[in-house]
Amino acid sequence: MINQENYILLDLLDLLQKYTDGNHTLTQTQILNILKEEYGILVARKTVKNNMEKLMSYTKRLNYKTTKRRYINKKTNEKEIYETYTDFWYEHDFEPSELRLLIDSILFSKQIPSSQRADLIEKIEGLSSKYFNARMAHIHTLSSDESRNSQLFNTIAQLDDAITNQKQVAFYYNKYQINERAKLELTPQLTKDGEVREYVMNPYQIVTANGHYYLICNNDKYDNLSHYRLDRITECKMLKRRRKKIEKVEGQRYGLNLSQHMAEHIYMFRGESSSVQLRFDKRLLSDFVDWFGTEQIHFSNQTEEQVTARVTVNLMAMRKWALQYATHVRVLSPQSLVDEIREDIQKAVENYQ
């Protein structure tokens, strides 16, 4: 049972978390006033002092200063010095800059509906003092880009449980279509018979790429890994069947090397990865490293303006990347990829004639 004294301790802790941080402190007198005006608690200064000392012994997050004061001892009639505590502030788990980073990642997420973004940001604001300004109003400027899928958080929870418990999952996978009112709507993929198709997968990892969450998984019917965007998944549920071991998936004999896998699948396309040689302008070097990392690249034939690189990457992803930077990049091998890119460029030229 919590007695009255413990209630005061809890109120003091709540007060400090709300009103103080590294740039905002409170004296004992200010604490007394806030307790009275906001919490409706009228206590003596000595009670606050005693409870603050208890808090100081309970948590290392409570910071303060000590000051020395002189007083006359009534028994001895002599001047004596005693220490008192002042300028209290609570050290929060996150720095304001860290909270802003978290909020911005939510604010500019295209996957989370605006109402859920607002709820998340409000919770994050509560992790700091009242002086933290989270710029909540900006969220309304992004409503046109928001996800139409309100099941995202449930999908993440279901997949997380399934991965932890090594179970299979089942879900519907959706695509955007334009309805009769010329509006976008998210609709499930269908079978050849016109029925909603249920995907049964062996889930291994949730990752982020290009501003979206993806599930790395395997379909029992195939030997390779697949990727599915979480904001396109609905009606996700964990099954009782155990998932296939990752070591039984093609190319994953020693387990999933996540950093290598992400470097090879920059657009999260499925399919084989292969060694690709290309030559590009050196002014593109920073962008190239941003996309492909640093560990899987081998450079050669460097001149003042250009360099040749060899990287192992998903061929479909490299085809798209090379087209994106076509004015600065030329793929040299494999020849099959060169032919596909040349055909793509020819079609692009025809499209603008």
Q: How many helices (H) and strands (E) does the chain have?
A: 10, 12
pLDDT of 329 strictly over 70: yes
Higher pLDDT, 138 or 65: 65
- Tokens representing 228 are 């599915």
Res. 236 pLDDT band, cuts 50 70 90: very high
Position 135 scores a pLDDT of 46
Cα dist. 75→37, 71, 72, 83 in Å? 37, 12, 9, 19
Quickly state the pLDDT bin for 119 (edges 50, 70, 90): confident
User: Which has more pLDDT, 149 or 41?
Assistant: 41
Give the model's pLDDT for residue 148: 66
Residue pair 198/233 in contact (Cβ under 8 Å)? The answer is no
User: For the segment 133-183, what is each residue's pLDDT rounded down to a tens digit?
Assistant: 644 444 444 444 455 678 888 999 999 999 999 999 999 999 888 777 877
pLDDT of 37 > 80? The answer is yes
Confidence (pLDDT) at 313: 92
Question: Residues with Cβ < 8 Å from 194, sequence gap 6 or more?
Answer: none
Q: What is the pLDDT of residues 182-228, one digit of tens each?
A: 777 888 999 999 999 999 999 999 988 877 889 999 998 888 899 99
What SS3 state is found at 114?
Answer: helix
Tokens 């195939």 belong to residue: 222
Given a cut of 70, whether residue 278 has pLDDT beyond it is yes
Residues whose CB falls within 8 Å of the CB of residue 100, separated by 6 or more in sequence, listed in order: 134
pLDDT at 185: 81
Side-chain-side CA neighbours of 210 within 13 Å: the count stands at 14
35 near 11, Cβ under 8 Å? yes
Q: Which residue has the higher pLDDT, 259 or 141?
A: 259
Quote the pLDDT of residue 137. 43
Instruction: Indicate yes or no: pTM above 0.85.
Output: no
How is 115-150 classified by DSSP, letter by letter? HHHHHHHHHHHTTS-TT----GGGGGGGGGG--S-T
- The mean of the pLDDT values for the chain is 86
Enter the DSSP assignment of 328.
T
Percent of the chain with pLDDT over 70: 93
Task: Average the pLDDT over 12-18 and give the result.
Answer: 93
Which tops the pLDDT comparison, 128 or 263?
128
Q: What is the residue-wise DSSP string for 177-232?
A: EE-TTS-EEEEE-B-TTSPBPEEEEEEEEEEEETTEEEEEEE-TT-SS-EEEEGGG
Residue 240 has pLDDT above 80, yes or no: yes
pLDDT (mean) for 309-325: 93
Q: Stretch 85-109: mean pLDDT, rounded?
A: 84
What's 296's DSSP letter?
S
Percentage of the chain lying above the pLDDT 90 cut: 47
